[in-house]
Structure 1
Amino acid sequence: MYRKNQFKNRMLAGERCFGCWLHLCSPIAAEVLALAGYDAMIIDHEHGSGELVGAIQIMQAMSATPASSILRVPWNDPVALKRALDAGPEGVMIPSINSASEARAAVAACRYPPGGTRGAAYGLVRASDYGLAAKDYFENVQDNLLIICQIETAEAVDAIPEIAAVDGVDMLFIGPIDLSGSIGKLGQFDDAAVIALRERAEDAIKAAGKLLGGLAVPNLGIADMAARGYDFVTAASDITLLRDAALAQLKDMRKS
């Protein structure tokens, strides 16, 4: 159901929030994790195998919890963003934004005319409670929606001041794995050049006054992210939580 975006407002007020990625396409798993207390759940349609109806079912399962829903679209595509937004997430994440022009295109796809190019069907889509909250949704969606652009290449790091200056971009989210790969050091999180590039991105995002989000990886734990000023911290997905718990229990079982 349509509601005010407390997740976005809490971060803008200075509160650090914590999220979990969803790849299992399971409404039940999403509901369990939301009830456990994560502030936001990221439904991943870039690397996940889910479809839009499945994302709606996940959001329906989460609707009785305080957790916010973020839908990561497969790419910076206006049709993908239009359909994602009509489904009613409280935020969208757009991967691999490398320039201000790409950021402007993403924001335009999220906004109705005259400020953007989003096709209008707010009289009937889930985002507006199937039209029951159409007026409220139309009048407030621009301020209510959380727009997250991902920084995943060295090129994007160089362009952070310009990307951050685009009206409508709320958060820049560092993708540390692809960021390391962009300089030929995929997954080498202890490499000095990888660390320097990530820290340069963090510093530029904070200097621009934007919310900073990211993913914990080796050499960048949750405590490190707090010290670096991250506003939104993610560290696991439904798959990794299930996998790691199973491995840990089996290890204990086999010791007995």
Structure 2
Amino acid sequence: MYRSNRLKTRLKNGEIVFGSWNVFASSFATEVMAHAGFDFVIIDHEHGVGDLGMLGYQLQVLSGSPATSLVRVPGQDANYIRRVLDLGAEGVVVPGINTAAEAKAVVAAALYPPMGSRGAAPGTIRASGFGALAKEYARTANDNVLVICQIETVEGVENAAEIAAVQGVDMIFVGPYDLSASAGRMGEMDHPEVVALIDKIEVCSKAAGVPLGSVLRPDMDLEKAYTRGYQMIATGSDSTRLRAACLSDVSSFQATASSGPFKRS
């Protein structure tokens, strides 16, 4: 079901949005998340377990919900980006962008000519309703697709200003964990050296007028993130939320079973 990209419009209007990651290759898990109230769901094909066949089912679920569908692709492969968008993803999150040239290549892969070089088959793809909205899709897809570039290496930080300035990049997404690893401080996302690198990304993105997105890190809660100028926060996932709920229930049971009349010997 082709529709206008509400998330992209909201970001352009300066609104803040909140969403979650999805790593299980399950349309059922996606459906639960799609109707939970998140503004968007990022289906993770970099670290998740899904394939393109299952992605189609997940996108079907999301297109019947208020949540915008985003897919983090495994890398900068133009063919993979094309297939994800042809399936109907409303945007792509591309990891490990290190240079402006890489950002330009990602934009080219996501957009039709003359703005890009994405292969065009609007008469047959799911994104256009298998051709039912082929003309509308061909005319509006470039304005509708959300292109998000992740900066998560020291090299990417060094080139952050040039990356943010690339026409067609709709958001810079900070990847703090990989950035800490790249800086030789793996997992130390609140280390001053890592924080300084993140600060530079923030400055460069704001100077270019490009929205910022990220995950939460130890030194930053939701309020601080939005106060610092981030518009998009994607935190947690289907796996972490399931695990947290299970641990909470088991902990509650153990507390009950170890005290009062239910105490076990």
Is TM more than 0.5 here?
yes
- Is the aligned partner of 1:51 residue 2:43? no
Runs of 4+, deviation exceeding 6 Å: none
Aligned partner of 1:161 in structure 2 is 161
Aligned partner of 2:120 in structure 1 is 120
Q: CA deviation at 1:115?
A: 2.5
Corresponding letter in the other structure for 1:18? F
Structure 1: 5+ residue stretches without partners = none
Alignment of 1:31-42 (within 5 A): 31-42=31-42
Mark the structure with the bigger radius of gyration. 2
Distance 2:108 2:13 in 1: 26
Corresponding letter in the other structure for 1:59? L
Aligned partner of 1:97 in structure 2 is 97
Aligned partner of 1:246 in structure 2 is 246
Aligned partner of 2:186 in structure 1 is 186
Q: CA deviation at 1:113?
A: 2.4
Distance 1:139 1:169 in 2: 19
Aligned partner of 2:198 in structure 1 is 198
**What is the TM-score normalised by the length of structure 1?**
0.98
Q: CA deviation at 1:9?
A: 0.3
Structure 2: 5+ residue stretches without partners = 257-265
Q: CA deviation at 1:114?
A: 2.8
Any idea what the Cα deviations from partners look like across 1:231-250, whole Å, max 9, x if unmatched? 10011100000001111111
**Larger displacement relative to structure 2 (109-118 or 148-157):** 109-118
Secondary structure at the aligned position of 2:120 is classed as coil
- Is contact 1:96-1:153 (8 Å) kept? yes
Q: CA deviation at 1:119?
A: 1.2
Distance 2:206 2:28 in 1: 36
Distance 2:75 2:229 in 1: 27
- Is contact 1:222-1:235 (8 Å) kept? no
Aligned partner of 2:259 in structure 1 is none
- Is contact 1:217-1:235 (8 Å) kept? no
- Is contact 2:45-2:51 (8 Å) kept? yes
Corresponding letter in the other structure for 1:178? D
Corresponding letter in the other structure for 2:228? R
Secondary structure at the aligned position of 2:115 is classed as coil
Q: CA deviation at 1:131?
A: 0.5
**Larger displacement relative to structure 2 (57-66 or 128-137):** 57-66
Corresponding letter in the other structure for 2:234? T
**What is the TM-score normalised by the length of structure 2?**
0.94
Q: CA deviation at 1:154?
A: 1.3
Any idea what the Cα deviations from partners look like across 1:20-70, whole Å, max 9, x if unmatched? 000011111111112110000001000011001111101111222110000
**Larger displacement relative to structure 2 (229-238 or 24-33):** 24-33
Distance 1:141 1:134 in 2: 10
Aligned partner of 1:225 in structure 2 is 225
Any idea what the Cα deviations from partners look like across 1:84-143, whole Å, max 9, x if unmatched? 111111111111011110011111111222332211111100011101001000100111
Aligned partner of 1:10 in structure 2 is 10
Distance 1:236 1:217 in 2: 11
Distance 1:251 1:99 in 2: 47
Corresponding letter in the other structure for 2:16? R
Any idea what the Cα deviations from partners look like across 1:145-194, whole Å, max 9, x if unmatched? 10000000111112111111111100000011001111100111231111
Q: How high is the sequence identity, in percent, across the aligned residues?
A: 47
Coordinate RMSD, CA, aligned: 1.0
